[in-house]
Structure 1
Amino acid sequence: MLEQLYDKYGKRKIYLAIAFLIIVLNILILTITYQSKIKFTIDGQGFKYISHSDENIIFQDKEGNEVLVTIDLSHSGYTFSSIAGKYEIKYKDKTIKYDSSDWNNKGCFITLSDGRKYKQNFIRINVGEVSQADKFIPFDVQLVNNIEEVYDFIDGNFMIVIFIFSIPLIFFGLAGIMYPERIWDFQHILDVSGGEPTNFAIMLNVIGGILVIGFALLNPFIYN
């Protein structure tokens, strides 16, 4: 079947068309992964990242209630927090204050909505993972931790980096499948003159191409 398509449209066009379809599939996988990474749940209540600017980060719960993070720009330099040294979270009737402006000497403090102060250690909770110990962590602290994790992911532009990294992998892997002889020639351009690849060498290039494409597509899940 592929040979018929090669004869009708040309092998290069088929190569580009398949590469395009794989890239579309890759974008779909990245989109699904992104959507899962910008959400978190606390005590059965779901939250989702909406947007951010220099001064604010906005989340919403599943009922549409806004979670507003207001950043203190005077403490936005290097701190333990991925957001800023100081910021305030407003959610419903809660006001939560985070302060790690002097984390190196005093640590990180979260002023809970009831006025109590919670000293944060340097190990944050991973988004989506709830351990037995989390049951004893106040809701306000879990909210801070999850917002930090999501913002760290958003600010790092990891999905864009993974997408850019995956493009050459897709083209190279597909070339290994469709042009294994040329890949072999390229691999041995400096140590072989006029030689031909064996069937085994061709098979290895095809398998290698499949593995490379598989890695490019599964990389978001590996990161996740």
Structure 2
Amino acid sequence: MMTDWSQERILVYAPHPDDETLGCGGLMSKAKAAGAEVFVQFITVGDTADQSPKGFSTAEERYAEIKKVADHFRWDDWHMALPGDEYHLRLDAVPRVDIAHIIEASSPLSMSRLRPTVVVAPHRTSYNQDHQAIAEAVHTALRPSDRALRHHPRLALAYEEAADQWRLEPTCSPGLIVELSEKEVGDKIHAMELYGSQCHRHPHTRSELTLRSLAALRGMQAGVAFGEGFHVLRCLA
């Protein structure tokens, strides 16, 4: 499938800041260079215990990182839906109908307002409860209906992250590989470096070597140098 990314309005769902880069940083780089519009809907962020020398990162630090990454990728806009510790790492406790309503209608970047042609969201096989919650809510928001009454993106994709494959349930390989250039892989890696509180040395799921290795693996599966893998939820030709 050949896609003219210059004609697309892409809406990416990121449960937390950095998920969009891990899942589709290469695609965002490629699409923006072609002339696409790219928007990122973050769901939540808060103070987080982590494996950094300091042992935690604050929401304020994470917002500063988002702004650097947004400038790097030249996003057209981004929005945080549910900020604060009440929701961060607790999205599985939020009723799915409430999250789906944010996605469908109430957010400034909702599907009904933005009318994206491409939607990219986490895959439901992630071990992370927030990722699962957003994957299921986006799936609900994409439910079949009369296109005259509700907006339907032409292409709906689920992105992968390296650690998603750790779950024990069987998962198939991504059915869509987006070819990436060395520059696009580099843009993805640099964006993760800008997420300084979340970037780690190897071995770690968010290390440079992990990102480059997964890009090389997906590229090999399509007979190219580098790639990014996606599961196709819907494709209207």
Larger radius of gyration: 1
Smaller-chain TM-score bracket:
under 0.3
More helix by share: 1
- What TM-score comes out, normalization by structure 1 length? 0.26
| TM-score (norm: length of structure 2) | 0.25
